[in-house]
A and B are shown apart, each in its own frame.
Chain A
Amino acid sequence: MHIPDGFLSPPVWGALDVVSGSFLVFGLRQVGRHVEEKTIPLMGVLSAFVFAAQMVNLPIGGGVSGHFLGGALVGILLGPWSGLVIMSVVLVVQCFLFQDGGLAALGANIFNMGILGSFAAYWLARGLRGVMRRPRGQFWSGFLAAWITIVLSVLSCASFMSESQVVPWSFSFLVLGGAHVLLGLLEGVVTGTILMSLTKVRPDLLNRPKV
């Protein structure tokens, strides 16, 4: 889902760079203002965690493998603005060090995986947790939030590419959306499992202040 440069037209990437850049600046301000000092190294190390977790290849079947993205998880754990900042940090490093995702397309990638990724997941998980109050609800709310978020992110990615006239909308909607309805299950299961096991090992981590 890391869009490289060239696949988006200048108006699309330009607009998204402005939008995501503003979100990021505002997010950094929110974090700087509302987060305790000790959370600063935590957010740094968690961005390294997301980065490392994305390296683990998971077989999906038929020789295809996917990986965990992590945006939903950090959004749920630390709150939407912190999640956005963490994902942006990861995307900047991936773009710069590994050329995973383009430089001009950074705005688009931050929009899909950072802004949508952590905001949608945070609010979805919060809403769902309000309905699913049983202990297992932790798993299911995380699962659904991560799953839906992945599908939303990929649809937004598809819409950017069709807006850039790289692929027609109906086609990218079907192919990318369809593939990620399945891939999103992986994100859901992993996110849910992590949240569920945290309730057993370190429940305090789930109840930290969220920014």
Chain B
Amino acid sequence: MTHAWHDTYHHAKTPAHHLDPRSKLFVGFLFMGFVLLTPQLTLAKGTAYSGFLVVVGLLCRVPISLFIRRVGSLVPFILLMGLSAWLSHISKDHVMQILGKAFLSIGAMTVLAAVVPFPDMLRALQAVHVPRLFILFLAFLFRYGAVLGRETLKLERGWKARYFGQVWRNHWREIGHILSALLVRSYERAERVYAAMLARGFSLHGPAFHVLHFSYWDALLIGTSSAILLGIHWGRF
């Protein structure tokens, strides 16, 4: 598995983890909106935004190793852009703009994901009236991604135990067979899950349950962060 199933934040307990997920998401999206919509990200502004991000990240105790791992997904795009800049002389400033925005937004998403546990995000989505069907699918993926990921790993091990270095073309085929075994298992699992849902009275249009509570602390968070971000955005430096 290339991804560790990252939801270790349950063990971190900072004040940020007790806030309403809606306010955290709002601040996160505001930050990314400002960064991405800034036409000219000067060095000073870039530094100010990163400063904000670093302070929040430290307060919420987001491990720096996590950020470094996440930045990895930028590498192919940076390579592609670097290669083409080298061939066709895109201005250095333009490249720096793009890199700055890319790093800041991936940093913001890392912090956001670390302080908003996924189940909380689903509750926030429910509170802002995202269709229930979509939330159900997201919840299923969150729940069964981990289960099927583990199952895939087992199937892959079972296959490796009988792999003696055949050529790659057969390898792809065999992976196809592993995945089709996994697919059939997924269908069967879905049937059992449906049975379990029915047994507990599921209906798509049934009642929903809201557990979010907006507090003064949330208002404080939104107020101060918005003020800081607006300051950076409109500030003349």
A contacting B, Cβ–Cβ less than 8 Å: yes
Interface of A: prevailing SS: helix
The size class of the interface chain A forms with chain B is 35 or more
B98: chain A residues at CB < 8 Å are 6-7, 166
Annotate B170-189 by CB proximity to A: 1 below 8 A, 0 otherwise: 01110111111011101101
Which chain A residue has the least Cβ–Cβ distance from B121? Answer: A96
A68: chain B residues at CB < 8 Å are 175, 179
Contact across chains for B180 and A89 when beta carbons are under 8 A apart = no
Contact across chains for B105 and A104 when beta carbons are under 8 A apart = yes
Docked pose: A31 CA to B136 CA in angstroms: 13
The size class of the interface chain B forms with chain A is 35 or more
Q: A37 with B141: in contact, given A42-B194, A96-B118, A167-B84 (CB under 8 Å)?
A: no
B2, B84, B106, B141: the one within 8 Å of A168 (CB): B84
Q: A45 with B32: in contact, given A5-B105, A52-B151 (CB under 8 Å)?
A: no
A24, A43, A99, A205: the one within 8 Å of B109 (CB): A99
Q: A89 with B105: in contact, given A103-B32, A192-B176 (CB under 8 Å)?
A: no
A7, A49, A57, A86: the one within 8 Å of B137 (CB): A86
List the 4 shortest-distance A-B pairs measured between CB atoms, nearest first. A44-B140, A193-B176, A6-B102, A6-B101
Question: Which of B's residues lie within 8 Å of A, judged by CB?
Answer: 1-3, 6-7, 29, 32, 36-37, 70, 73-74, 77, 80-81, 83-84, 87-88, 90, 94, 98-106, 109-110, 113, 118, 121, 131, 133-134, 136-145, 147-149, 151-152, 156, 168-169, 171-173, 175-180, 182-184, 186-187, 189-191, 193-194, 197, 203-204
